[in-house]
Every structure is written in C-alpha cells, then in structure tokens.
Structure 1
Amino acid sequence: MGDTNTRKVLVFTKTLEYRHQSIDDGIKMLEKLGKENQFRIEVSEDASLFNDDSLKQFNAIVFLNTTGEVLNFAQQNGLRRYMEAGGGFVAIHGSSATLNHSAWFRGLIGTRFKNHSRIQQGKLLVHQDDKFPTTKSLTPGWTYEDEWYNWDTIPRDVHVLVSIDEQSYQGGEHPEFHPLAWYHEYEKGKSFYTALGHSGETYQDPKFAGLILDGLNYVMQGQNLDYRLAVTPSAPDPKDLIKESLVSYGFVQEPMAMDISPDGKIFYAERRGNIRVHNIQEKKTSIIGTIPVYSEHEDGLLGIALDPDFRQNHWLYVFYSAPVNQFNYHLSRFTYDPKTNHLLDTTEMILLKIPQEHPYSNHTGGRICFDRDKNLYLTTGDNTIPFGSKGFAPIDQRKDRTEYDASRSSGNTNDLRGKILRIHPEPNGTYTIPAGNLFPPGMPKTRPEIYIMGCRNPFSVLVDSATNILYWGEVGPDAYKDSLEGPRGYDEINHARKAGNYGWPFFIGDSKPYAEVDFVHDKIGEFFNPERPMNNGPRNTGLKILPPVHEAFIWYPYADSQEFPEVGAGGRSAMAGPVYHFTKSSQLSDSRLPEYFDKGFIIYEWIRNWIKVVRMDDEHNYIGMEPFAPEAHFSSITDMKFGPDGLLYVLEYGKTWYQHNEDAGISRIIYSPKK
C-alpha cells in the first residue's frame, strides 16, 4: 500500500464550529502536491467514511481545519482502528480544536487548542530533522504572520519541528517553549500536526507546502495497513440488533416497571395493581399477587424493585397509591414465596408514606432502584397541575390555587414531593439515612431523605453499579416557545455524582431561569438566580435560600434541539435506561451486546419511540449519542433492564393511555451478527 503510484490521501474538511475561509486554499495546495508527487487526493466532509472498509483504501488522512465534534462515537472508533492498523494522520491548524471530548484524539494530535493571539508577525524557530528535509532549507529566524495558538498543555513525547519565540509577538502563554509543529508515532501509526495555516496566503507559500509534504511522506513511509492489529471494537451493523418478543398481549396490561431476579425471572408491575412474573427459561407468565390501588388518572402501582439480597430474603419493594386514602402513596416491602410463586399479602411493611393534595395525580414519579451500597432510591413527582401556567413555571401563589404551585413541593426542602429520595431499608421495615444526602438529619426545615430536589416528574431512575452514579429521566413542561415568563419546555436526562438541586420549578434545562409571576395582577417580575435560588412562596415550609442549581445533562424541547440534534422533534417523555458494561464470561449469553457498547448509557423516549446510546468521557461528561437498534419498532417503552444473562430486556406500555394495549409486551435485544 506504500507504493507511490497508488498512494491515496483523504482530506477531511468538516466543521461544526468556526470554519476557516482558508480551507479551499488548503485543498488547492494539497491537490497540487498530489499531482506533483504521485498521490491522489479525495476531499470529503462525509463522516460516514470513517469505517474500516472506507479508510483502508487511504495511506493518509488529513484533517484540514476541522472543528467541533465532527465524528460520532462509531466514526471515532473507525479512525482509532485505522491508526491501530498502522495508518497515517496529518492535522492542520484548527484541527486541534476538534473532538475536544476525546482523550484519544487529543493524544493523536498531541495536545488541545486553548486560545490564540491576534493575527501578527512572529519569529519561528526551526528544529532541523532528517525526516523532514524542508526544515534544512528554512532559515533559523523564519518570520511569519498567523494567529498563534496556545495549548491547554505543552505536547509531550513528540518531535518538535517548529516553535515560536514568544518575545517576537504578544499573546503567548508558553514562554519557556512554545511548539507549533511536530510529529510522533501513535498506536501503530504515525501523526504530524502543524498549528500554522490560518490564512489563505499560508497555503500559497512553498515553505509551508514543503512542510506539509514532508509530513505526508513521513506518515505514509513504509506503511502497510494491517487491521488484524486493530483492537478497538468496530460498530455493529444496526440490522444485527434484533428485537425478540417474550411476553405479549394477554399477559401484560398497562405495565409500568420491572426488575429481574438473579435466576432470570422478570417481575413486572401493572398500573391497576397486578404483579406478574415471567420465567424466561420456562417461558411461563403468572400473576403472583394483586395490590389494591387507587388507579384513576396516572395513579396506581407505579414502581417495583427487588432487594439486592433477593436470592436470600425474597423481599420485593413497590410504590403505589393507596385505595383507602387516595391522597397517600406507599413505599412498601413484601415477601415473595418462590415455592408457591406468590406474593405474601400479610408481609407488607410500609416504609414510607407520601401525602398528595388533589385527585388528579399529575406527575407521580414512583420508580425505585438500589445502588451498590444497598441504598434505595425513590422518585416522586411535584403533585402539581401544569395547566394553569401556560406551560411555564407553576408557581401560582393565589390562596385557592394550592395544587398549581410547585414551589410548595419540588422547591420545598421540607417536602418529599418532586424529589429523588435515598434511604437505607432495615430488616425490621424501617429505614436509616445514608451519609451524603442533601440535608443531614436534624437540620431545621428540611427532610433528610432528600437526595435530589427540584424535580418535576422523574419517571425513570437507575444507579450504575460500577460507578454509583444516579441517572434519571425528567418529563418537562409544555411551553412551545420562550416568553417573558421564561424558557420553553424541556425534557431532561440527568445524572448526579452527589446530592443536589436540579432547579424545578424555578429553572429548567441548563439552568435556564423562569421569572417570578404575579398571577393575581398578571405581572412578570425578575428572573430567578441559579447561583442563589430563593423560594419565597407562601406555602414553602422549608428553607428560603435553596442549594445551588445543577444543569441538566441532556435537555431538549418539542422542536429540533440545537444542542442535541440526534433526539429529533415531537412529543416528549425522556427516560433513562441502564449503563452497559461488557464482560467476557462464558456464563453470559453469546447474543449479548458486543464490546462496542461498553460504558454506553442507554436512554429512550416513551413518545418518540427511539433508543439512543449516550457516550461519556472518563469524567462522565457528555460526548455524543447514537441510535440503538434503529431497525426495531417499539411502542412506548416504560422500562428496561439488563438481565443476569447480559441481555437487554425492554418493557413496553403500548401506544394508548390507560388501556390494555395489544402492542404492550416484554422483549429483549439479541445481537445476531451475520456470518
């Protein structure tokens, strides 16, 4: 592949942030170099080329002033596999401001762009190198005009070809040593980068062209791509992710939540009170118990979770609306008898009661999960009618509008509604408070059970057992457009490493503030301050000064999202699924998800009926998202879990509210690659 008569170079020019006007000049320079030096140039902004089949035809890839997150996770893996196979990479100027979330790409370049000086003359210092003949023809005091890049860190373990004398210009931040062009080996391949190349005139300079040609020759020299050396997983064919039905109409009616036992039984709760078990191996489904519930509107049996020691104690936790007093929700524990396959009704122990104030059951929450320390998390909704505030913040303080005021619940540090609670269940049916909740026990005007406050309707929740990070989906308000009252409505996907306040009803999304509203006189006041949020509502029984507000992890409106375009547009009901951890084990199913999805956070949409995999860096910051099983059809997914066999199980409510839907059911995702 290193034959000079067949050498081929991909010039990639995609930008998602600043676009340099000099890109066209760079293309002309590279095309001229190709004609004069017997290699072919292919120019593209098509990121889908970054796969094995496409990249293996190229001896080198040039990133010409690319900026932003121009490759998704699968495409980044394609580039990574190319370098592991021995590929060649050249990057010019703005490309150091590309894929900023990727530590691997930072290593490929050598550092990351921080900022730059104004355009001005600077004195370049040339470091001669036998592998780069052009360096021997450049004068030691090469004077040049450009915008001079500063780095977040000085590149290490690279061979520097050009640096700059910071005494010759203004705006430098590396007085001891300021490199501008270098090369190094990376993975099994080679990489060259230069920070020169802002203006079009640069690409007409024979000295600069010679430096780029040397870089291309270096990364292509002696090259023999061998993809057997590539160890990074490649993206699977979407058609190989197949939905396999397990339980269908007749055995599932308004399912809300599920959990899976260590021996492979799916326990799932139906809104009208039934708890069913599906034995995966025996392919049998049965009702193991019925809990009397109040099931009008959104109420009913809402959540279910198995105790972390379920194999030994057979304890099962549920969250439901009590039928005798319909304004109470119960978090209860029952004991399951595996011999009779029944729930023992007489074993109920009520751990917690949460009062409600009106019969419309808006925003119930009700999901349950455990962390690796065996702490129980429970989500609760704001118990607030959303229809009196035009889709903005429901903070109506009029005396007869109690149920229209979420400052009494979500924004109240002394109320359990609109929260995610964290408690530690005890064997005797009580609970203790784990260390690290938002408010310590005994603190006036607070509830120690609160871990997360400022929730509207957290309708899905899980804790990643590998990291103990909490994830949840937050269903947001309905405003279609921004107004003087505040921002339009957003749904949120959130995660929390520690206890915190997520803002509702005073903030939404990335801490966008709502305004105080006088509903009596229809007057709009000042916007709330996310750094010092205040709750001055007359129904607030808690603290007036609230904890600082955390921004949402992902947020999106009804319309297309500029920040997260992959989510599309339409109705909204954001749901958080599990984080996948690939394990090599003969005890797991061969049909489990491949290693490519390792550490992927799965999210899904009840209304839009898609599943996405969110990619995060090592600090759990957002990188991007990609479709998951796009060939499969889903009908309002309400829960998903990984089973003990490593497979992903999916619970679907069906397309119509409050009905026994024919499209409701339980399925699992099978990975079946074509041989």
Structure 2
Amino acid sequence: MKVNRLLVCTLMWGLWLATLSIQAQSPKINVLVFSKTAAFRHQSIDAGKKALAKMSDEKGFGVSFTEDATQFSESNLKKYNTVIFLNTTGDVLNDEQQSSFERYIQAGGGYVGIHAATDTEYEWPWYGKLAGAYFLDHPMPNNVQKGKFIVTMKNHWATKGMPDEFDRTDEFYSFKNISPKINVVLKIDEKSYTGGKNPDFHPMSWYQTYDGGRSFYTAMGHTDESFSEPLFLNHLWAGIQYTTGGDAPKPIDYAKARPEENRFNKAILAEKLDAPMELTVLGDGRVLFIQRKGEVQLYNIKTKELKTITKIPVSTKYVSKEGKESMGEDGLMGLNKDPNFAQNHWIYLYYS
C-alpha cells in the first residue's frame, strides 16, 4: 500500500513538473516572417531570417518563416501575434489573401515592415496606409551611403539606448504618400548624404495604430550588415514587442474584424434602373436615391414600393459646333440628407 501511494505521488509530481516545463517552453508571442518578392529581391533577406531566428531564441518568442502567400488565411494567421514583411516587393498577395490580412489586423494583429515592405502592394491602398508610406526611390548610382540619423522621440520604447544622433551605412529610401497619422521616431538628415527626396522631413522609422491593429516600420535593413548591428536589432525588437501588445499580448479576436463578404446576403430592392448614382437612408424605413438623368426616387422598405417623386431638369448631352448631339457624363451626380433631417427635412442635390 505504501508502495502504491509512493508511486501515485511520484507520478503526480512528474506530471506537475512536465506541465511546468511545457508552460515555461511555450512562447508568449508567435511571429510570422513573410519574405515573398514579386519584384527586386534583396540579398539581405537570408541575413534577416538568420537574425530573427537568433532573436527568437534569445528573446523567447516563436517564429515561422514563409514565402507562401496561401498562409494568409484566417485559420493560419490567428496563430500569430504579428506578421513581419521582410523586404517584400511587388504584388505578393491576391484579393482573398489581402482580405484575410485586413481582417487579421482588424482582429488585433500586428504588422512590422522592414525596408522594402514599403515597395510592396502599390495597388492596395489599405496596405499603403498600414505600412505608413510607399517607396519613392533611393539614391543612384551610389545607393548605399553613410548618413546621419536623428532621434525624434527621446526616452521612447522605440529609441531606447540610441544616441540622439548617429551615423550608419544603409540604403536610404525616400517616400511618397506618407500618412499624416504615423508617429515618427527616427528621421535622417538629407544634408548628410546625396539623393534624398523628402527635404522638409525625411522619416526613417515610425509606428501607429491602424484599423484595429498596431503597425511598426523601419526603412533600415537593406544591407546584410544591418542584421548584425545591435542598434538596429534592438530597434527591431522594440517594434515587434509594440505590435504584439508589449508585456501583455492579447489574443487575436476575429469578433472585432469586418465580416467576410460571403457572410452577407444580398437583397435586390429595385431593378432596371438607368444610371443610379447615390442614395441616402432616411431613417424611417425609406431609401432616397437619384439617377443621373434627373430622377429622384423613393423606396419604402416596409411596403416595398418604388416611386419617382420628382425629376430634376439636367443636361446629359453634348452639342458640337456643328450641332451634333452626343451623350455626356453630366447630370444629377450627388445626394445627401441634412444632419438634422429628422427635424428640418432638408436634402441636398448636386448636378453638373
């Protein structure tokens, strides 16, 4: 009997230790590193992967590497706290994958962009806003130069341990479509090198909250040597921590994301319309809309009746000097209700 009790106690002790071991080994955060390229491919991608693998061992986070865009699905992305775009270029995701990534960010996911991540997905405006800017160009013919960086946010998590000013060698991107909502933590002095195109203010690293998630971008990371620089790696790790939620990362919550398109049912309220333009919901079960040729129509959701309540005399034809008529694109173009429509019953129409 004593032997049995001892055996049971030993087994329970072993299971408890095993549970503690599993808990200790389970990383708090998991990161997906995406490095697919559809345009120029940076040689430093391999150096970046090695540096991030080493960082994951040192910092204790999980990391996966892929260039397979099919991994951008809800079932896969929900495994990760943040996704790192490591020197991606060009059009790397299809429409379905883009939608999955948007919903991932809306669910609280994170995004880290390294260097050429801004040279990616130019035809996807949502991504440009997430990244914070798009690549404009880099200096030529000497694309790699030494330049002076300036810390714009001192005593900040993103610049901890950095001197106020420092020189480093890299390829310095200039940017276009810079979002006014980014928080810039590093800029570069364009007088310290040749070829810059953002003379008034040239950001190099920034962060922001965007569409439910967190975003961090750094323009550093063109050269192999970047991924062995303690200053850069500490800066990158700070960005990863920020996008994953810091010391208290939160689980991805798809209840906060925009529903997928296939979750909606489409009900056709009216057919055989002639160039419908805009509509406004009046708030009492009626929908008001216009057609380009001047018709103002009202649909009653309760009775399912559609009627034309008036027609605005508008011109939809062009007449040449020779007297020939041709159809134009003018007409009744815009419609909206007054913010106080319930009280004043005003609507506004725009025609050209």
Distance of aligned partners of 1:466 and 1:58 in 2 relative to their CA distance in 1, 3 Å threshold: farther
Which of 40, 58, 71 is equivalent to 1:18? 40
Partner of 1:179: 203
The Cα shift of 1:4 comes to 7.1
CA distance in 1, matches of 2:37, 2:293: 46
Contact kept? 2:150, 2:186, Cα under 8 Å: yes
CA distance in 1, matches of 2:273, 2:174: 53
CA distance in 2, matches of 1:158, 1:262: 43
Distance of aligned partners of 1:450 and 1:20 in 2 relative to their CA distance in 1, 3 Å threshold: same
1:459-484 deviations in whole A, cap 9, x for unaligned?
xxxxxx999xxxxxxxxxxxxxxxxx
Matched, 1:74 2:96: yes
The Cα shift of 1:176 comes to 2.7
1:466-521 deviations in whole A, cap 9, x for unaligned?
99xxxxxxxxxxxxxxxxxxxxxxxxxxxxxxxxxxxxxxxxxxxxxxxxxxxxxx
CA distance in 1, matches of 2:41, 2:261: 29
Partner of 2:219: 195
The Cα shift of 1:138 comes to 2.3
CA distance in 1, matches of 2:257, 2:155: 30
Matched, 1:216 2:216: no
Alignment-mate amino acid for residue 210 of structure 1: N
Secondary structure of the corresponding residue to residue 53 of structure 1:
helix
Contact kept? 1:131, 1:214, Cα under 8 Å: no
Distance of aligned partners of 1:65 and 1:212 in 2 relative to their CA distance in 1, 3 Å threshold: same
User: What is the TM-score with the length of structure 2 in the denominator?
Assistant: 0.67
Secondary structure of the corresponding residue to residue 164 of structure 1:
strand
Matches within 5 A, 1:545-624: none
Distance of aligned partners of 1:34 and 1:372 in 2 relative to their CA distance in 1, 3 Å threshold: same
**Structure 1 unpaired stretches of 5+:** 242-259, 264-305, 310-370, 376-432, 453-464, 468-675
Distance of aligned partners of 1:38 and 1:227 in 2 relative to their CA distance in 1, 3 Å threshold: same
Alignment-mate amino acid for residue 95 of structure 2: F
Which of 134, 144, 148 is equivalent to 1:119? 144
The Cα shift of 1:32 comes to 0.7
Which of 164, 180, 183 is equivalent to 1:159? 183
Alignment-mate amino acid for residue 115 of structure 1: D
1:512-546 deviations in whole A, cap 9, x for unaligned?
xxxxxxxxxxxxxxxxxxxxxxxxxxxxxxxxxxx
Partner of 1:63: 85
Structure with greater helix share of residues: 2
**Structure 2 unpaired stretches of 5+:** 1-24, 276-289, 295-314, 335-352
Matched, 1:443 2:325: no
1:128-177 deviations in whole A, cap 9, x for unaligned?
555526x2322233111122111114442332221111110111122232
Which segments of structure 1 move beyond 4 Å, counting only runs of 4 or more? 128-131, 260-263, 306-309
Contact kept? 2:107, 2:256, Cα under 8 Å: yes
CA distance in 1, matches of 2:108, 2:327: 53
CA distance in 2, matches of 1:54, 1:308: 44
User: What is the TM-score with the length of structure 1 in the denominator?
Assistant: 0.36
1:85-132 deviations in whole A, cap 9, x for unaligned?
111110000011111122221221111111112221101112455552
Distance of aligned partners of 1:163 and 1:261 in 2 relative to their CA distance in 1, 3 Å threshold: closer
Secondary structure of the corresponding residue to residue 173 of structure 1:
coil
1:612-643 deviations in whole A, cap 9, x for unaligned?
xxxxxxxxxxxxxxxxxxxxxxxxxxxxxxxx
Partner of 1:234: 260
CA distance in 1, matches of 2:26, 2:187: 31
The Cα shift of 1:202 comes to 1.1
Contact kept? 1:131, 1:218, Cα under 8 Å: no
Structure with greater strand share of residues: 1
Alignment-mate amino acid for residue 171 of structure 1: G
Alignment-mate amino acid for residue 18 of structure 1: F
1:649-670 deviations in whole A, cap 9, x for unaligned?
xxxxxxxxxxxxxxxxxxxxxx
Matches within 5 A, 1:416-565: 434-436=316-318, 440-443=319-322, 448-449=325-326
Distance of aligned partners of 1:168 and 1:443 in 2 relative to their CA distance in 1, 3 Å threshold: same
RMSD over equivalenced CA pairs, Å = 3.2
CA distance in 2, matches of 1:137, 1:451: 63
1:255-289 deviations in whole A, cap 9, x for unaligned?
xxxxx9968xxxxxxxxxxxxxxxxxxxxxxxxxx
1:362-399 deviations in whole A, cap 9, x for unaligned?
xxxxxxxxx94359xxxxxxxxxxxxxxxxxxxxxxxx
Contact kept? 1:90, 1:216, Cα under 8 Å: yes
Identity over aligned pairs, percent: 36
Distance of aligned partners of 1:59 and 1:466 in 2 relative to their CA distance in 1, 3 Å threshold: farther
Matches within 5 A, 1:322-337: none
CA distance in 2, matches of 1:200, 1:178: 23
CA distance in 1, matches of 2:269, 2:80: 50
Secondary structure of the corresponding residue to residue 137 of structure 1:
coil
Distance of aligned partners of 1:308 and 1:97 in 2 relative to their CA distance in 1, 3 Å threshold: closer
Distance of aligned partners of 1:58 and 1:206 in 2 relative to their CA distance in 1, 3 Å threshold: same
The Cα shift of 1:307 comes to 8.2
Secondary structure of the corresponding residue to residue 32 of structure 2:
strand
Secondary structure of the corresponding residue to residue 136 of structure 1:
coil
Which of 145, 153, 163 is equivalent to 1:139? 163
